Each structure stands twice: as structure tokens, then as C-alpha cells.
């Protein structure tokens, strides 16, 4: 029995404009797993705000550049194409900067938090 149609695509072609705000596309969702493409263009997390998620997140920059800050670190980490981070559930983090000159394309995989 076929559960879903075959999915095929290109993550870096025909990017939506993100100049007015980040664009998030869910590419695949299953029990405990969600894969997203995020397109940013100069966005950052508002001052004083932090992401604090119930899920683990693995994120990679595919194109462009970003700076990601963890709450327990003094400086943001620069991420460029091919660089990734694993953020366990409740690892408070924020995006300090994304490139204003070109789209930043992220691949994010959200997973049910490891209870072990």
C-alpha cells in the first residue's frame, strides 16, 4: 500500500521572497519528525526573545549566512553553507543575524526529544 506520493524537489531553486519575513515550508512531517526549509533575508530573532522548543532540532545552512546564539554562550556562532548544529530540546537559542544581501536557506529537522 502506498502511503504518500513520491516527493521530489530542489531546495535552492525558485526561492520565495523572504524580504518581508521568513518563509517556512514543511517538506515532510511524520510522527515525531518534521523537515522544513526556512528562507531568511536579513531577519533576526527580536531582542530579548529566545526559542525554547519541546523538540530536538538539527539545522544546516544550505546557502547564505547566519549567526546563531545559544543562551549559555557569550558570542554567536557564524554558520555558512554546509555548516550545521544540533540543538537539543529546551536549548534556548536565537538567530542574531542572517545575510541582508542574499537569501539564507536553512534545512531544519525537528525530532521528538530523546528521553534516554
Domain borders along the chain are 29-112
Rounded to two decimals, what is the model's pTM? 0.90
The pLDDT value recorded for residue 23 is 97
Topology at the third CATH level for domain 29-112: Jelly Rolls (2.60.120)
Q: What averages of pLDDT result for each successive group of 10 residues across the chain (116 residues)?
A: 66 93 94 96 96 97 98 96 98 98 98 81
Biggest distance spanned by C-alpha atoms of the chain? 52
CA distance 91 to 112: 14
Dihedral angle of Cα 88, 91, 100, 15, to the nearest 10 degrees: 30
Compute the residue count for the chain: 116
Amino acid at each position: 500500500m502506498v502511503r504518500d506520493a513520491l516527493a521530489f524537489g530542489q531546495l535552492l531553486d525558485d526561492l520565495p521572497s523572504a524580504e518581508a519575513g521568513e518563509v517556512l515550508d514543511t517538506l515532510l512531517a511524520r510522527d515525531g519528525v518534521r523537515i522544513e526549509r526556512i528562507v531568511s533575508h536579513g531577519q533576526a530573532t527580536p531582542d530579548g526573545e529566545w526559542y525554547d522548543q519541546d523538540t530536538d532540532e538539527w539545522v544546516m545552512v544550505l546557502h547564505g549566512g547566519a549567526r546563531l546564539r545559544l543562551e549559555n554562550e557569550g558570542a554567536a556562532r557564524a554558520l555558512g553553507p554546509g555548516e550545521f548544529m544540533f540543538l537539543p530540546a529546551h536549548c534556548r537559542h536565537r538567530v542574531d543575524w542572517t545575510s541582508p544581501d542574499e537569501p539564507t536557506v536553512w534545512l531544519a529537522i525537528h525530532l521528538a526529544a530523546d528521553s534516554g
